Chains A and B, each alone.
Chain A
Amino acid sequence: MKGNLGEKLQSLPKPILYLILILATSIPLFFPTEVPNEPVESTKDFYATLMALPEGSKVLLMSDWTGSTRGESKGAFRSIFKILIRRKAKVAIYSAADPQAPRVAQDAINELNMERKRKNLPTFDRWNDWVNIGYFPNAEAAINGIANDLKGAFGGRKDFPPNSPPRDVFQSPVLQGVTKVEDFPLMLVITASKTSNFAVERVSGRTPLAFAVTGVMVPETQVFYQSKQIVGYCGGLKGVYDLEQLMESGVNFPDKATAKIKSDKLGTIEGFPDPDNKGQGTRYYPTLHYALALMIIMIILGNVGMFLAKRGDKS
């Protein structure tokens, strides 16, 4: 009988696997829970970099995510903008990965603004606080162009000032006095594709780079982070969750002894306790545990099955 049991464990029909997975990823969503967590270094550096921006500084943001990765990228995008808005930053957004990306980014910001309106907070206005420079096909070449000759690359691109026809983006407050990529104290890349590599190839060394990448890209991004080609990154859902926690409690804040999140490398970086910090990360992260647990159990089951089967064959 052992053999049979082994065989069974080894070869559960796929539909059953899939059904279990659906359950594991659905049910926990209805029961939000708080998960203890320690942010990873790279995310701390990422947060530190954002918080170190002087108020009102100009940031170049390459937004290369679309609906297909909204699960991860949208969370990162929202958190990053919540921070940028607090830093009163001015953001120039462009995309190089996907023609849809500019629209998706735009919609995400509009969504944020609607929420802020409801709370009667000042909105983050198009043209005055951020411009949408649009999509540049052929990422590799486009990023090269932007790195070598920003004026030329963005030249002739238009965006909408408040209820008036489109105008040249360089007229907007965001790009006032910007002529080259070095004029931005920071370049952010929120991407789900290898456009981050191109950014490293062309931009690193000209201006600091910070990435928000999807979980699958964490390994390759770690390479750049180690060789100090980028100052920090926020990887996958864990990164988003870390970021949300950092926003909530800062680093070594209010002081190192009592701080919830400590770091020897970084000084004190303030946080902004605010229920609004909790976003996708906080919503999805608990559920992720069940999914991962399921995965581990399945792998173990498979192996147990294999051994039982072997034993079965012998006897």
Chain B
Amino acid sequence: MIPLLQAQAPATSFWSEAFNSSELWTKLIITLIVGLVVMVGLLYAPIRARKPIVAFFTFISGAYWVLLYLWPKPIDRQPGEMPLNTVETVSFWLADSNNVVVSFTQILTGFLLGLGIFSLLKIHLTKISKGHKDAFFSIVLLASMGLMIWFGYADWFDRLGERGAMLDNRDNWGFTQYGRDFLFEGLLQQMDAAMFSVIAFYILSAAYRAFRVRSVEATILLSAALLVLLSLMGAVSFVWDENVKAIANGNPFILNFQLTEVAQWIRNTFQTSSIRGIQFGVGLGALAMGLRLWLSLEKPGSGS
């Protein structure tokens, strides 16, 4: 597919037809119908066939990446070159289909988003219809959702055409742009920032409540945190370090007691290493779980 992007008049093949050609549309519609037929067919799948079917699809999709990883990769491949042998034919194909496969996850997730929105609508519409005490807020939610969708798309269409570039400049803005800007920059972005910064309050209260010299662990946690906090206050560490330098007057050993040095030492020696220790475990966990899912070894919802 890469050469196709580069060539002036792309060569068509069985899999790719020219833009807006009748062949493309016929094939497209046929594919769609076939797909839907298969889907309907699944409705009649016998119960014991269900597990294998799911397992099959899971395995196939995982197999691509595993193959891409294990199959000999071409050495020193230049654009436009043709494979030397069957091994390379496969590896070329694997490499080229990378971008296609990559997009599957996001496309499917995109299609599924409808379900999420459906759940949202269901909950709030029932609230409204039942006249729940928070019905008003549900209305607010749906209204702001509608507005955002409307302005979002209107603005997007405006930017598609010739005017797109001009709209970078506020002078050429219309009602749509201002509306979108108000909702997006004015509200959404600001609320994002606001909600994020709320954490500052919580972090304070959490530290105030939890950082007590109760157990050995708590004490260690607390003192390490305090040291790093101090080192982050440029002024404090600067003054401290200046004094240390003064005391040390060149003695490299004493120089190690500069606050920045100590903090850096904690970071490099303990923080980095403990994170690494944890991450090794987590990584293995993910890999093992990946294997179990790929080979469908695990019962779904195995909390049973």
Residues of B within 8 A of A291 (CB): 200
Bound CA span A137–B109, Å = 10
A66-B189, A149-B2, A152-B5 known; A294-B204 Cβ under 8 A: yes
Residue among A12, A14, A241 with the highest chain B CB neighbour number at 10 A: A14
Residues of B within 8 A of A294 (CB): 204
- Among the stretches B122-130, B136-144, B270-278, the one at the interface with A is B270-278
Residues of B within 8 A of A276 (CB): none
A152-B5, A303-B213 known; A17-B267 Cβ under 8 A: no
Residue in chain A with minimal CB distance to B214: A306
A122 at the interface (CB under 8 A from B): no
Bound CA span A301–B212, Å = 10
Bound CA span A219–B165, Å = 41
Residue among A68, A151, A163, A299 with the highest chain B CB neighbour number at 10 A: A299
Q: Are A40 and B197 in contact (CB under 8 A)?
A: no
CB distance from B69 to the nearest CB of A (A): 11
Q: Are B234 and A241 in contact (CB under 8 A)?
A: yes
Q: List residues 154-211 of chain A with CB under 8 A from any CB of chain B.
A: 155-156, 160-166, 179
- Among the stretches A84-92, A139-147, A251-259, the one at the interface with B is A139-147
Residue in chain A with minimal CB distance to B160: A166
A163-B166, A292-B233 known; A226-B189 Cβ under 8 A: no
Residue among A40, A137, A152, A289 with the highest chain B CB neighbour number at 10 A: A152
Residues of A within 8 A of B279 (CB): 223
| A contact residues, range | 35 or more
A29 at the interface (CB under 8 A from B): no
Bound CA span A298–B200, Å = 14
B61 at the interface (CB under 8 A from A): no
A302 at the interface (CB under 8 A from B): yes
Residues of B within 8 A of A301 (CB): 208
Bound CA span A16–B212, Å = 20
Residue interface bits A11-55, CB-to-B below 8 A is 1, else 0? 010100110010001000000000111101100000000000000
Q: List residues 102-158 of chain A with CB under 8 A from any CB of chain B.
A: 104, 106-107, 110, 126, 137-138, 141-142, 144-145, 148-149, 151-153, 155-156
| B contact residues, range | 35 or more
**The residue from A137, A142, A223 contacting B276, defined by CB atoms under 8 A apart:** A223
Q: Are A36 and B235 in contact (CB under 8 A)?
A: yes
Bound CA span A12–B209, Å = 9
Q: Are A162 and B102 in contact (CB under 8 A)?
A: no
Residue among A37, A104, A106, A306 with the highest chain B CB neighbour number at 10 A: A37
Q: List residues 221-243 of chain B with CB under 8 A from any CB of chain A.
A: 222, 226, 229-230, 232-239, 241
Residues of B within 8 A of A148 (CB): 95, 98
Residues of B within 8 A of A107 (CB): 185
Residues of B within 8 A of A36 (CB): 234-235, 238-239
Residues of A within 8 A of B238 (CB): 35-38
Residues of B within 8 A of A306 (CB): 212-213
Q: Are B211 and A299 in contact (CB under 8 A)?
A: yes
Residue interface bits A266-284, CB-to-B below 8 A is 1, else 0? 0000000000000000000
Residue in chain B with minimal CB distance to A41: B264
The A interface, classified by DSSP as helix, strand, loop or mixed, is helix
**The residue from A12, A100, A104 contacting B208, defined by CB atoms under 8 A apart:** A12
B290 at the interface (CB under 8 A from A): no
Q: Are B95 and A149 in contact (CB under 8 A)?
A: yes
Bound CA span A29–B268, Å = 33
Q: Are B275 and A223 in contact (CB under 8 A)?
A: yes
CB distance from B103 to the nearest CB of A (A): 8
Bound CA span A299–B184, Å = 39
Bound CA span A223–B273, Å = 8
B86 at the interface (CB under 8 A from A): no
Q: Are A219 and B275 in contact (CB under 8 A)?
A: yes
Bound CA span A93–B168, Å = 17
Residues of A within 8 A of B185 (CB): 67, 107
CB distance from B46 to the nearest CB of A (A): 35
A100-B189, A299-B207 known; A226-B234 Cβ under 8 A: no
Q: Are A299 and B222 in contact (CB under 8 A)?
A: yes
A152-B98, A296-B226 known; A302-B211 Cβ under 8 A: yes
Per CB-CB distance, the 4 closest pairs between chain A and chain B, nearest first, are: A67-B189, A37-B234, A68-B192, A155-B5
Task: Give me 29 A-to-B residue pairs in the complex whose CB atoms sit less than 8 angstroms apart, sorted by A's number.
Answer: A18-B204, A36-B234, A67-B185, A67-B188, A100-B184, A100-B189, A106-B168, A138-B106, A149-B2, A151-B5, A152-B2, A152-B99, A153-B99, A160-B165, A160-B168, A161-B165, A163-B165, A165-B161, A179-B79, A222-B272, A223-B275, A226-B268, A241-B234, A295-B207, A299-B207, A299-B211, A302-B212, A303-B211, A303-B212
Residue numbers of A with Cβ under 8 A of B are 12, 14, 17-18, 21, 25, 35-38, 40-41, 66-71, 100, 104, 106-107, 110, 126, 137-138, 141-142, 144-145, 148-149, 151-153, 155-156, 160-166, 179, 219-220, 222-223, 226, 238, 241, 285, 288-289, 291-296, 298-299, 301-303, 306
Known A153-B102, A179-B79, A302-B212; further 15 A-B contacts with Cβ < 8 A: A17-B204, A17-B208, A40-B260, A66-B192, A104-B189, A149-B2, A149-B95, A151-B6, A165-B162, A219-B271, A238-B232, A294-B204, A298-B207, A302-B209, A302-B211
